[in-house]
Amino acid sequence: MVVRRHLSKWFRLGLLLVPLFCLCVWVGITALPQSGREAAANLCASAGPGIRPMRSRPPLLRLARAGPVETVPGMPAVLDPNNVYSGAAADRFSPAVDGALSRVYVPNLQSNDVYVIDPATTAVVDRYKVGAVPQHVVPSWDLKTLWVANNGMRRRYGSLTPIDPKTGKPGQDIPVDDPYNLYFTPDGKSAIVVAERRKRLDFRDPQTMALQQSISTPGCSGINHADFSIDGRYAIFTCEFRGGGLVKIDLVNRRVVGYLRLAKRGMPQDIRISPDGTTFFVADMRADGVYLVDGDTFAQTDFIPTGIGTHGLYPSRDGVKLYVANRGSHRVRGRPHGPGGISVVDFATRKVEKTWPIPGGGSPDMGNVSADGKQLWLSGRYDNVVYDIDTTTGAVSIIPVGREPHGLTVWPQPGRYSLGHTGNMR
């Protein structure tokens, strides 16, 4: 009887302590830094099919966003935790862009050249040949060079062509394997060449482009575009092909964290982080809209329908609006004069406020907002033109360029540094 009483006592005590222990563990996990939360989530996921990582952000983490952001070493401080784009507001030019010509650089991937437009007159003022299949024109982290990413499709090697922004002229090509796109780590220590066909990210010296190391992403077919967490600890890349999805990369330890399949089999394209750093907006060309993904928990949270062939995403200079380019087709090779247009999404309400069609039809793809925020410049992918769109009225001017223009950039842009692509400025 004595033994039974002791066992009963300890059993009742256990029933009281187990919930308390679980509560302590939960509070501890939410208070951990990002790497600790991910490790805990991975442990939970491996424990069995009945346990899954949390799919929504804990309240404690949401409150933490209101304070200063603890960034990775070497990354410039976040000026406003509620607006990651505050460093690229219209009046915030870096001294590094002093003397740069005001130009729009347009890579044409079928004619293997770059057209140069004077935005003041909308006239083409220069044109030169570059490497095979130029995809994007990308500002360097230090804002001193523009790189043309020539991925050399169906060739053994591609190349990167440097452009001097002060003269607008190209330099000597640097041979690089499959540079579909180009990004830079938030601390500026590495360029990230997106080797799309290789399912690989190549980290290179940001000046010489000498290889530092590579990360294989075998579960990401057509690794494509990216954006970075507000603290610089991770990046999320889109996976365009074979049903589409996302891959999350730990930039501190330089490894793949995991993959995410979105609700529908689609074709993810551009990706942008919300001003408060909590949510990633993912354009999907087949889903005809923008997925919302919680970056920390790496889970889809919502979807915003926009238009046919949703492709490019561009924040307004004040970080209030998101301009969404709808290419007008679900196909990689579409027809000219399609039902393309631009949707204007409010970051706060996550609603489409207005839609600007392209007169006569078109195929708006990738580009930039002008330095003052008054113009949105986009390539017309299937129409061999560039669109200059007034961000107040939606009025469109059309400028003929080369064959199949793609990732154009407008220069100079405000910001302290560039994370790459056509101008992911901070």
Q: Dump pLDDT digits (tens) for 162-181.
A: 999 999 999 999 999 999 99
8 A C-beta contact, residue 357 and residue 317: no
Q: What is the largest CA-CA distance in the chain?
A: 98
User: Which of 14-18, 67-71, 82-86 is the least confident region?
Assistant: 14-18
User: In terms of domains, do 195 and 333 share one?
Assistant: yes
Q: For residue 20, what pLDDT is reported?
A: 45
Condensed to tens digits (0 to 9), the pLDDT of residues 91-100 reads 899 999 999 9
Residues 104-122 have a mean pLDDT of: 97
Q: Read off the tokens for 305.
A: 């329908």
pLDDT at 270: 98
Structure confidence at residue 153 (pLDDT): 77
Confidence at residue 65, expressed as pLDDT on a 0 to 100 scale: 53
Q: Is residue 74 part of a domain?
A: no
| pLDDT for the residue 110 | 96
- pLDDT classification of 22: cutoffs 50, 70, 90: very low
Are residues 198 and 51 part of one domain?
Answer: no
For 201, residues 6+ apart whose C-beta sits below 8 A from its C-beta are: 192, 193, 194, 195, 214, 215, 217, 223, 237, 249
What are the pLDDT digits (tens) for 232-250?
A: 999 999 999 988 999 999 9
- pLDDT of residue 218 exceeding 60: yes
Closest CA to 262 of 232, 228, 220, 218: 220
| Packing angle of the helix pair 34-47, 2-31 (nearest 10 deg) | 130
Q: Is the pTM of this model over 0.75?
A: yes
Write down the pLDDT at residue 1: 44
Mean pLDDT across the chain, nearest whole number?
A: 88
- Residues 200-213 have pLDDT tens digits of 999 999 999 999 99
**DSSP assignment of 278-310:** SEEEEEETTTTEEEEEETTTTEEEEEEE--TTE
Regarding whether 172 and 267 lie in a shared domain, the answer is yes
Q: Which string of DSSP letters, residue by residue, matches 164-208?
A: ETTTTEE---EEES--SEEEE-TTSS-EEEEETTTTEEEEE-TTT
228: which 2 tokens? 């970075």
Predicted confidence (pLDDT) per residue in 349-368, tens digit: 999 999 999 999 999 999 99
- Residue 66 — very low, low, confident or very high, per pLDDT cuts 50/70/90? low
Give yes or no for residue 5 having a pLDDT over 90.
Answer: no
Does residue 290 share a domain with residue 260?
A: yes
pLDDT of residue 63 exceeding 70: no
Give the separation between CA 23 and CA 422, rounded to whole angstroms.
46
Q: How do residues 306-338 score in pLDDT, each as one tens digit?
A: 999 999 999 999 999 999 999 999 988 889 999
Structure tokens at 205: 């010296």
Same domain, 142 and 224: yes
| pLDDT value at residue 41 | 37
- Whether residue 161 is found in the same domain as residue 12: no
Q: What is the CATH number of the domain that holds 191?
A: 2.130.10.10
**Domain identity same for 294 and 399:** yes
Cβ neighbours around 357 below 10 Å, total: 17
pLDDT at 279: 98
∠ CA(68), CA(299), CA(49), 5° rounding? 125
The answer to the question of residue 270 being in a domain is yes
Percentage of the chain exceeding pLDDT 90: 80
Q: Please write the tens of the pLDDT for every residue from 265-304.
A: 899 999 999 999 999 999 999 999 999 999 999 999 999 9
Within a domain: residue 81? Answer: no
Q: What share of the chain is helix, strand, coil (3-state, %, to 5)?
A: 15, 40, 45
Instruction: Name residue, tokens 């690794």.
Output: 223
Query: Same structural domain for residues 46 and 185?
Result: no
Residue from 260, 253, 213, 274 nearest 35 by CA: 253
Does residue 70 sit within a domain?
no
Question: How many domains, the chain?
Answer: 2
φ, ψ for residue 232, nearest 5 deg: 80, 10
| 164 and 37 together in one domain | no
In a domain, 418, yes or no: no
199 and 221 in contact (C-beta within 8 Å)?
Answer: yes
pLDDT surpasses 80 at 44: no
Q: How far is CA 382 from the centre of its chain?
A: 23
* Residues 98, 41 share a domain: no
> Is the per-residue pLDDT at 61 higher than 50?
no
Do 105 and 13 fall within a single domain?
A: no
14, pLDDT greater than 80: no
Q: Is residue 425 part of a domain?
A: no
Q: Tell me whether residue 75 is in a domain.
A: no
At 355-412, the pLDDT tens digits run 999 999 999 999 999 999 999 999 999 999 999 999 999 999 999 999 999 999 999 9
What is the domain extent for residue 216? Answer: 86-411
Indicate whether 173 belongs to any domain: yes
Percent of the chain clearing pLDDT 70 (strictly above)? 85
Higher-pLDDT residue of 60, 183: 183
Is residue 90 scored above 50 in pLDDT?
yes
My answer on whether 273 and 308 are in the same domain is yes
d(CA 308, CA 192): 30
